[in-house]
Chains A and B, each alone.
Chain A
């Protein structure tokens, strides 16, 4: 079924009785050409582009829970292309272009809103670093505008500009940055993949990976064994457990990241604002809730909930930046399990086992990457070669020293 404004109106007039499920609920077949483990944003977009770009449709996505129940439905939805390292820059730039065409391509409203992202700076040194970043973004063909203090004040009059510890010197505005509705992104890719013949199989946990003579043969699941010519592990925070089923030890440590949403308010924050020095960022959803978060809890964890010290820290940072939000009530908080890599950048690569591929290490920034990750992973699976935009996301780069340390903090698990 194609969605359109006309369809919404006619369905509304006739009691909304004509809607059909957005995807099928098939039983797993005994064999597929490709099995994708993980029905998050990256698994679903990989399935979609395998079908759309490469005509590979004998594909199953195996999800242990429900589609979109992982990080793709738990993140704070910032979409941006403001990376500067060669390797990251072109990848996120490509992702941004895919975002801009996503709704038309998927025939699905993902509420992508390019409301502008503003990263604040608080010193001369930080300004220099932001000028450099802005130039890198422009060189990549994307957009960046340096705002001085008055420029930021015009857009965000409600910030505390005279904070003694971090007075606001200005900000880097990324006009094409913004947000989107996270669930809709998962649902849109799921529907698009299903329409092209991909089987989306929920409540199907992969419990083993079958390897014979160095070649992948299929997977064991809670719904039986499934043979496959190729298997992709795309399970974000659970990457280490699933890779261990194939005897692999990954450069990943799983950490918890929390987020918060307030009660619904009238429109007040029109941009996405990031206050890096306070480890705080905020935007307002279309429903009116203030969506905000901070840093990791900073220890390895698989509890999809965080601890109180980080709750306190985030609230303090928010109050410091914009005291007005103190009057809003927090409605909910939650956590997601992040696949942290030592250098803060991802992996899209083959493994030493033939036919077994890996897409992981998205840290706390993999939502914006959903389209390009699927695009490049599908390319790798279909052609056997890395896509030019993902050619540096190698699994062996830690051993060889070809790191992608965007933050410049070092290649160690607790530094990103």
Chain B
């Protein structure tokens, strides 16, 4: 399996550290309920098919990546920079 990092290009899977599902991008607000924290930390959709998850380009540019891929075929549909996503979200909120 190879991932195409938006900064570094197509690289071997061994350059990346797998962190987990996209859920980690949706950290509950301080003071959120126990159920919300449980949902964020432990509960997962765990789909057999398309999923989005977080990878860290450890042996490359050190960027966090949001990868869209198929868990059954291992086909990669897209790789985005988490940092850019966050900037967009902030810009969106400012409007």
Contacts and interface: CB of A to CB of B under 8 A. Distances in A.
Contacts of B72: 302-303
B25 interface: no
Interface of A: 238, 240-241, 244, 249-254, 298-303, 307, 309, 342, 398-399, 411-414
Interface in B34-78: 34-35, 37-39, 41-48, 51, 53, 55, 71-74
6 contacts: A240-B44, A241-B46, A300-B71, A303-B73, A303-B74, A413-B42
A219 B13 CA distance: 40
Contact of A307 (B35, B41, B74): B74
A269 to B, nearest CB: 29
A307 B73 CA distance: 11
B42 A399 contact: yes
Q: Classify chain B: how many residues form its interface, as a range.
A: 20 to 34
B86 interface: no
A307 B46 contact: no
Contacts of B53: 299-300
Given A298-B18, A299-B53, A309-B14, A249 B44 contact: yes
Given A300-B51, A307-B74, A398 B46 contact: no
Nearest to A397: B42
A254 B34 CA distance: 24
A345 to B, nearest CB: 13
Nearest to B35: A399
Contacts of A303: 71-74
B21 interface: yes
Given A301-B74, A307-B1, A307-B74, A414 B38 contact: no
The B interface is mostly helix, strand or loop, or mixed, namely mixed
A78 B41 CA distance: 31
Contact of A302 (B13, B14, B21, B48): B48
A300 B18 CA distance: 9
B28 interface: no
B9 to A, nearest CB: 19
Contacts of B34: 399
Contacts of A309: 12-14
A358 to B, nearest CB: 13
A324 to B, nearest CB: 27
B59 to A, nearest CB: 12
A11 B49 CA distance: 49
B19 A411 contact: no
B76 to A, nearest CB: 11
A240 B45 contact: yes
Among B19, B41, B46, B51, which residue has the most Cβ atoms of chain A within 10 A?
B46
A414 B56 CA distance: 13
B20 interface: yes
Nearest to B51: A300
Contacts of B39: 249
Contact of A250 (B1, B21, B44): B44
A253 B73 contact: no
Contacts of B48: 238, 241, 254, 302
Given A240-B47, A342-B42, 17 more contacts: A240-B44, A240-B46, A241-B48, A244-B45, A249-B43, A250-B43, A251-B43, A300-B20, A300-B53, A301-B74, A309-B12, A399-B34, A399-B42, A411-B41, A413-B20, A413-B21, A413-B42
